[in-house]
Amino acid sequence: MKDYENDRRHWIKFESLQNFRVKGGGTIDGSGQIWWQNSCKVNTRLCVDVKVVRLFVAAPENSPNTDGIHVTATQNIQISRCVIKTGDDCISIVSGSRNVKATDITCGPGHGISIGSLGAGNSGAQVSDVVVNRAILTGTSNGVRIKTWQGGSGYARNIQFQNIAMNNVTNPIIIDQNYCDRDEPCHEQASAVRVSNVMYKNIKGTSASKVAINLECSKSVRCHEIVMQDVSLASQRPEYVEASCVSVDLTRRGIVTPLCSPN
């Protein structure tokens, strides 16, 4: 394996050749067993105790699927003082992640800071104990987001978004439990990833969308223990912003604007 440390995706590679021909028979022994043993499908160990500090990640705004930092199957990770400008999520946190702390994050352009997506293809997902503290998001297509597919299972719980500044952000606060990232429509399903114990605290700034707070939870598995404290979002343009809440148990503390009624 040490012979492939610089490039583990290619076994034999041909490039920049013309009129090249290989003739003859024989057998090539790929010695694949050591690779199979180290495959993530066999060796399921998680990353543990990871620290990411002062990382700068940049990609064009129109570059597809360019997540800045993608956290998966990781426990005890600290991300701090990072600047991320990409065409997808600045930070995405997906299944198997626990005890994730992101502090002093500058994000934009991009799709914001996301938990998920979770539960694709009727799969199970587990994300817990996530803290996003002190972040500045500018011109992103989402702010702080939790996104799950219908038909999934498992949970996203014990999540805190706090001390966040939004500058001209579309969907500053969003829970989307009807996420559907494909061309054909996604059919309604009864099961869902359970979202609970989520705190939004001291989040202020401007929204580029009319709906600044959008909590669209599963009709069959309500979002529980969702708390908003000292949240103030205004329109980037001279108009009022709105809040929309579906199938969510919501508690408000301090001044929260815009308002939506729990239902």
Active site residues: 111
Q: In what order do the strands lie in the sheet with 144-148?
A: 69-71, 91-93, 113-118, 144-148, 173-176, 211-216, 242-246
- C-alpha distances in angstroms, 182 versus 65, 121, 179, 187, 201? 13, 12, 9, 12, 33
Close Cβ partners of 91 (under 8 Å, ≥ 6 residues apart): 67, 68, 69, 70, 71, 79, 84, 102, 105, 107, 113, 114, 132
Q: Is the peptide bond before 60 cis (omega within 30 degrees of 0)?
A: no
Amino acid at 101: K
Residue 199: strand pairing partners: 160, 227
* Alpha-carbon gap, residue 130 to 98, rounded angstroms: 7
* Alpha-carbon gap, residue 25 to 55, rounded angstroms: 50
Inter-residue contact 91 to 69 (CB < 8 Å) = yes
Residue 21 tokens, joined: 């021909």
Q: Which helix (H) or strand (E) holds 82?
A: strand 74-85
Residue 105: strand pairing partners: 82, 135
Identify which of 108, 137, 103, 126 has the alpha carbon closest to the alpha carbon of residue 205.
Answer: 137
